[in-house]
Amino acid sequence: MNNSIALKSILTKEIQRFTRIWVQTLVPPAITISLYFVIFGSLIGSRIGEMGGFDYMSFIVPGLIMMSVITNSYSNVASSFFSAKWQRNIEEMLVAPVPNWVIVAGYVGGGMARGMLVGLIVTLVSLLFVDIQIHNIWVIIATVTLTSATFALGGLINAIFAGSFDDISIIPTFILTPLTYLGGVFYSISLLPDFWQGVSQINPIVYMVNAFRYGFLGISDVNITTAFIVIGVFIVTLFTIAMTLISKGIGLRS
């Protein structure tokens, strides 16, 4: 059994899926991010002045790109995997000799592909509003890759447990969005009182946004090494959970 062919097939299927419905998957993030730039960057941002030594527009660009990567890598896998469960075409893979890690890697890879493609689109849109500087391209690539993997895994676990389409919107609405908005996308956490700075330290998105911002601007509210360790721990934990759930057939096998 050639696992690389199976992996390529799942990846191809996943990429074909979100590119086939590009109006639903690729266009909305570009529009949303343009509105953020207009409202928070141009209109309100001009009154805020500098943050972290940079004008507000430049400061929020990395966070906005990362926000798009997070929501798209998560929702791609949550939606695609749950649809496959709902239409039962997940059985195509379950009856085939595809190892569980290949199923996980295929779906996560698809989510990462969409997250990073949307991230690229948002970056290109942001060039219309602000000049982007790059401090360390490798930190940017590593952060966007690992963050998209983390949230793609999260979306997969959500979809495994989901029993209805409502269930795949609960986590993004009630957990992901608050964590993202409180994750330092629009502000430096150094502006917060000490207590809330401490609370922010348990929000993983703080580490992702700051590592990504460091890649562009060279500034961060957290230690970069710590940020990568936190992201790494999340990936290993979520991957282990996803593998265990699929191996046990939770939500998939009777």
Q: Which residues bind another protein (CB under 8 A)?
A: 1-3, 5-6, 8-10, 12-13, 16, 20, 83-84, 87-89, 91-99, 249, 253-254
**Residue with Cβ nearer another protein (1 or 202):** 1
**Residue with Cβ nearer another protein (8 or 32):** 8
Give the CA diameter of the chain.
61
**Residue with Cβ nearer another protein (98 or 211):** 98
Could you tell me the smallest distance in angstroms from the CB atom of residue 113 to another protein? 16
**Residue with Cβ nearer another protein (94 or 235):** 94
Query: What does the DSSP assignment read for 115-136?
Result: HHHHHHHHHHHHTTTS----S-
**Residue with Cβ nearer another protein (47 or 88):** 88
**Residue with Cβ nearer another protein (53 or 249):** 249
From its phi and psi, is residue 53 left (phi > 0), alpha (psi between -120 and 50) or beta? left
Could you tell me the smallest distance in angstroms from the CB atom of residue 125 to another protein? 28
Could you tell me the smallest distance in angstroms from the CB atom of residue 26 to another protein? 17
Q: How far is CA 136 from CA 85, 125, 211, in A?
A: 41, 21, 10
How far apart are the C-alpha atoms of 107 and 13, rounded to whole Å? 9
Could you tell me the smallest distance in angstroms from the CB atom of residue 245 to another protein? 14
Could you tell me the smallest distance in angstroms from the CB atom of residue 152 to another protein? 19
Segment (H or E) for 109: helix 100-126
Query: What does the DSSP assignment read for 154-222?
Result: HHHHHHHH-SSTTHHHHHIIIIIHHHHHTTTSSS-GGGS-HHHHHHHTT-HHHHHHHHHHHHHHS--SS
Could you tell me the smallest distance in angstroms from the CB atom of residue 30 to another protein? 23
